[in-house]
Amino acid sequence: MTVLKTVNIKDFGKKIQGKVRDIYVQGDKRILIATDRISAFDRNLGYIPQKGAVLNLLAAFWFGKTKDIIKNHLISVPDPNVSLVKSAKLIPIEMVVRGYITGVTNTSIWGSYEAGERLIYGVKFPEGLRKNQKLPKPVITPTTKAEKGHDERLTEKEIVQKKIVSLSQWKQMKKAALALFARGQKICEKAGIILVDTKYEFGFLDGKLILIDEIHTPDSSRFWIKKTYPERFKKGLEPENFDKEILRLWYAKKGYKGDGKPPEMSKKLIADLFQRYMAIYEKITGKKFVQDTPKNVNKRIQDNLRGII
């Protein structure tokens, strides 16, 4: 099956390549192209067919469902893999909101808790928690947004002391993040899904805070099946997940947690991720995911962008 590894568009200027997205800047706008690259442990690990389209279309769905909470950067979706957005000044903080304690890496919340830490990201966690347990209330665990290497932990105190944002701006970001998470959990619950945790990114546009990047996608969030969660948690089994966690768990079982050369993904893992990404899109949106896979995806994207910019 065809995968979109990268996109090269003539006459659109310099390409900025992120972990998953290829970006072209056009004046006060940006073209975000979601490729099929998949990353974990702060590195690219391969490609999943249709992943980019799922991310792009699902993010657009959520931007529409949350624009009453906070304005976002989305202008239009001219192609399944493309979003035309407003350029904003990035705030270099990843706002991670967690409703459950989980994770597979040593630096995850669960990894830190299991190692004996109770004050994590400046947040005090109670004794007696088990992996995958629901927290008393959602918590925010911010990190730096690193261009290269691992993101670093931040606390509220450090954010203000380092003047990344002011205290009032930080409070605004926290309020928006928690409101977005609550909205996401409510909509997911109706679809039989638990929104476990997620990541938000914010920026400033004309001096006002807006939501940027993506929202509630299987790349930026964990999703569990609500129906089977209680019994599986009781038995100490991993929840049924429809997100990138299956990738992390697969690598963890092979003893890989981010250091050194990663093993190559198996065909079965790729097929499983392909199915789960499409399934979570359909469960949340209630729409059938339509695969649009011409031999030349680059040409389709360029054709759909013609006249837009």
Is the pLDDT at 201 greater than 60? The verdict is yes
The verdict on pTM exceeding 0.85 is yes
Strand (E) positions, the chain? 15-17, 21-26, 29-34, 37-40, 43-47, 74-79, 82-86, 89-90, 93-101, 119-120, 123-124, 133-140, 143-144, 193-205, 208-212, 221-225
What average pLDDT does the segment 4-21 reach? Answer: 90
CATH 3.30.470.20 fits 91-235, yes or no: yes
Architecture of domain 15-88+259-306: 2-Layer Sandwich (3.30)
Is the pLDDT at 106 greater than 80? The verdict is no
Q: Which residues of the chain form CATH 3.30.470.20?
A: 91-235
Q: What is the pLDDT of residue 258?
A: 81
Flag the least confident range among 32-41, 106-115, 188-197: 106-115
What average pLDDT does the segment 37-42 reach? Answer: 90
Categorize the per-residue pLDDT at 150 as very low, low, confident or very high, splitting at 50, 70 and 90. Answer: low
Is the pLDDT at 53 greater than 70? The verdict is yes
Q: Which residues of the chain form CATH 3.30.200.20?
A: 15-88+259-306
Of 72, 95, 104, residue with least CA distance to 253:
104
Categorize the per-residue pLDDT at 149 as very low, low, confident or very high, splitting at 50, 70 and 90. Answer: low
Of 154, 186, 182, residue with least CA distance to 170:
154
Categorize the per-residue pLDDT at 32 as very low, low, confident or very high, splitting at 50, 70 and 90. Answer: very high
Is the pLDDT at 279 greater than 60? The verdict is yes
